[in-house]
């Protein structure tokens, strides 16, 4: 009785949390200095896993992936981010992006640029971590990508000796074929073109629910075979299987994409605690973030949707600090381990196979046939663009006046509240407080095209023709923890911020794109029988997210065959709640 009551009480707050916060963005779990509170729900999945719809792709196609990441699986829970990288055999990252994790899944499609060279690539996925120095647990898988216009494939395959006889397990060590976790069957073995295919998945009685899986049906020639079965994804390092749940709970980022780094003294190299930093981005609005470095000099910013695929500028809040401090950013994607190509690849494909795939990709391109479909998914951005201010106290448009040569003249003639004077060999800028009519004690914050500017000297050369508008916000202003003695915002006509920030103490970081939730949407011929376009799908079907909940023993999946005759492998891969992975497949023939 007591145990039951305690059990109920333990669950009550989680229910309250889940229900009450469903509409509101969840509160961030990262405190300004990286320590986290204990709002985590224990994980049962020890390691992340990653699956793709195929193993061999042609540049110009989409690679569909599905990653199951350890961590809490709370309905409606959002804010977890997966980092996705695609690395070539040279080790360079050719694609990177972030994807929202929903119910433990991150999935989507990566467009393989037409310019990708033929080679072996590794797609990796891991969940972002809050603490520097602790690596997350990536899941990875090698795939082959052939350039569509590459005709000399023999030269590509021959030099890679590791492709021959590279032994690799396809299943987890706990898994044995005598005791499968899931059974896969089809209504028939042979199908005509454009005929319905019905696949049944049945879980076994001994399985531990819930079960997470992904299913693909792809041409046999587009899959790589190992000595003991089919090629499957696995964690990048086997040792991560141990204690991975604990590692995850301690370090997961929540609430959006984070950018972090460390500030050090230029003289001694020692960390600089308590240093105020601004993060700004060029744009129409002043989308400012402010933070202060921790005792070990580290800092972090939680970005918002406005930053996606853009460059952000990080600079000391106090211009005096710019000369004595240096900022180093952590690479968000550097947690992925060194890539040693070809570890996973078993039997290589023949050149004929790849050439056939190239032809199919070319035909699809020529006819403009694509079954790619983007689905609205969870929003990875938990925070929206914060505005430093919404309406300035005054706006000045220099083009309405006689042309003036520099900012000092413009301030003197056109902006009566703003004074720029030369004093002691440097420029001093001051604003009149609109409430008191007297000058502020401190200099105003200056922004050029939304980017924080350290000193007036950097922009004093701007004349009337360079400036679109000057916004004067001469109030004593607070923005979170940052305080301003007025604000001057200059919008240039020629992106003048680029010249200013190209040198000096500005640290620039590129923010990756968000990979949208996308999948393959196969045609439904029973609805549209008059479809005359050729249907050369190499992947007949791809279901990135299949969840068997408690007592849910059977699922049926239905799709249509295409116009390409041949053997197809229907493969279901996944993990059980106890972390046992499985991979089952069957062959069907389209003729």
Interface contacts to another protein, rule CB under 8 A: 1-2, 5-6, 9-10, 12-13, 16-17, 21, 24-25, 27-28, 37-39, 255, 288-290, 302, 383-391, 475-483
Shortest Å distance, C-beta 16 to another protein: 6
Structure tokens at 312: 């952000």
| Per-residue b or e along 139-152, where b marks 16 or more CB atoms closer than 10 Å to that residue's CB | bbbbbbbbbbebee
Tell me if residue 381 falls in helix, strand or coil: coil
Which residue, 196 or 386, is less far from another protein as judged by CB?
A: 386
Per DSSP bridges, beta strands 426-431 and 518-520 are: unpaired
Q: Do 143 and 203 form a contact (C-beta atoms < 8 A)? A: no
Q: Which is nearer to another protein, 145 or 482 (CB)?
A: 482
Q: Is 12 exposed, middle or buried (0-12, 13-18, 19+ CB in 10 A)?
A: exposed
Nearer to another protein, 25 or 534 (CB): 25
Report, in Å, the least distance between residue 482 CB and another protein: 7
Bond into 15 cis (ω within 30): no
Closer CB to another protein, 90 or 480, in the complex: 480
Q: Give the DSSP letter of residue 21.
A: T
| Min CB(36)–another protein separation in Å | 13
The residue among 116 and 279 lying less far from another protein, judged by its C-beta, is 279
Residue nearer to another protein on the CB measure, 105 or 301 = 301
Output the smallest distance, CB 467 to another protein, in A: 24
Nearest to 275 by CA among 214, 310, 343, 327: 327
Q: What is the chain's length?
A: 591
Q: Would you say 37 or 173 has its CB closer to another protein?
A: 37
* Nearest distance, CB of residue 381 and another protein, angstroms: 10
Q: CA–CA distance from 138 to each of 71, 333, 335, 339, 512 (Å)?
A: 13, 11, 8, 12, 18
Q: Least Å distance between CB 37 and another protein?
A: 7
- The nearer residue to another protein, 24 or 502, going by C-beta atoms, is 24
Could you tell me the two tokens for 353?
């196979």
Min. distance of Cβ 390 from another protein in angstroms?
3
CA distance to 15, 390, 506, 509, 534, per residue, from 312 (Å): 38, 20, 10, 5, 45
335 vs 129: CA distance, rounded Å: 9
Compute the least distance from the CB of residue 187 to another protein, in Å: 47
């Amino acid at each position: 009785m007591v145990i039951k009551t305690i059990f109920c009480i333990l669950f009550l707050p989680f229910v309250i949390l889940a229900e009450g916060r469903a509409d509101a963005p969840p509160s961030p779990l990262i405190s300004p200095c990286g320590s986290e509170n204990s709002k985590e729900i224990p994980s049962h999945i020890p390691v992340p896993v990653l699956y793709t719809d195929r193993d061999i792709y042609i540049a110009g196609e989409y690679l569909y992936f599905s990653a199951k990441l350890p961590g809490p699986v709370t309905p409606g829970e959002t804010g977890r981010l997966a980092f996705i990288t695609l690395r070539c055999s040279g080790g360079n990252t050719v694609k990177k992006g972030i994807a929202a994790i929903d119910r433990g899944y991150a999935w989507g499609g990566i467009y393989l640029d037409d310019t990708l060279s033929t080679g072996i690539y590794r797609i990796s996925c891991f969940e972002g971590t809050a603490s520097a120095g602790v690596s997350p647990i990536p899941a990875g898988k090698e795939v082959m990508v052939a350039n569509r216009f590459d005709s000399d494939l023999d030269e590509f395959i021959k030099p890679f000796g590791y492709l021959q006889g590279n032994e690799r397990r396809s299943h987890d060590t706990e898994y044995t074929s005598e005791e499968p976790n899931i059974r896969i069957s089809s209504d028939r073995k042979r199908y005509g073109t454009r005929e319905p295919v019905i696949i049944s998945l049945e879980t076994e009685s001994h399985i531990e629910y819930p079960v997470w899986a992904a299913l693909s049906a792809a041409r046999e020639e587009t899959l790589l075979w190992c000595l003991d079965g089919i090629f499957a994804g696995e964690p990048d390092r086997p040792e991560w299987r141990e204690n991975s749940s604990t590692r995850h709970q301690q370090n997961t980022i929540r609430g959006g994409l984070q950018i972090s780094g460390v500030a050090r003294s230029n003289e001694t190299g020692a960390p600089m605690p308590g240093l105020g930093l601004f993060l700004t981005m060029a744009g129409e609005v002043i989308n400012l973030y402010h933070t202060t470095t921790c005792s070990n000099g580290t800092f972090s910013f939680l970005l918002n949707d406005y930053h996606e695929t853009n460059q952000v500028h990080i600079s000391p809040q106090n211009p005096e600090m710019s000369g004595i401090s240096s900022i180093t950013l952590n690479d968000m994607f550097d947690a992925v381990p060194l890539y040693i190509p070809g570890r996973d690849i078993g039997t290589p494909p023949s050149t004929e196979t790849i050439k056939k795939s190239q032809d199919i990709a070319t035909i699809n391109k020529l006819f403009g046939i694509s079954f790619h479909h983007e689905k609205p998914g969870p929003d990875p951005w938990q925070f929206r663009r914060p505005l430093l201010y919404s309406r300035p106290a005054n706006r000045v448009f220099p083009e309405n006046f006689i042309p003036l040569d520099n900012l000092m003249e413009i301030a003197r003639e056109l902006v009566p509240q703003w004074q720029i004077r030369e004093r002691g060999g440097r420029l001093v800028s001051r604003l009149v407080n609109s409430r008191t009519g007297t000058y502020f004690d401190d200099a105003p914050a200056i922004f050029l095209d939304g980017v924080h500017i350290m000193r007036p000297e950097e922009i004093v050369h701007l004349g009337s023709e360079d400036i679109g508008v000057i916004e004067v916000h001469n109030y004593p202003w607070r923005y979170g923890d940052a305080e301003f003695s007025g604000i001057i915002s200059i919008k240039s006509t020629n992106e003048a911020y680029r010249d200013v920030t190209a040198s000096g103490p500005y640290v620039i970081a590129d923010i990756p794109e968000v990979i949208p939730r996308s999948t393959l949407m196969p045609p439904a011929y029973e609805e549209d029988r008059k479809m005359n376009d050729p249907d050369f799908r190499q992947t007949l079907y791809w279901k990135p997210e299949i969840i068997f909940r408690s007592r849910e023993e059977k699922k049926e999946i239905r799709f249509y065959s295409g116009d390409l005759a041949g053997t197809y492998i229907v493969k279901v891969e996944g993990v059980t709640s106890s972390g046992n992975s499985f991979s089952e497949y069957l062959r069907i023939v389209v003729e």
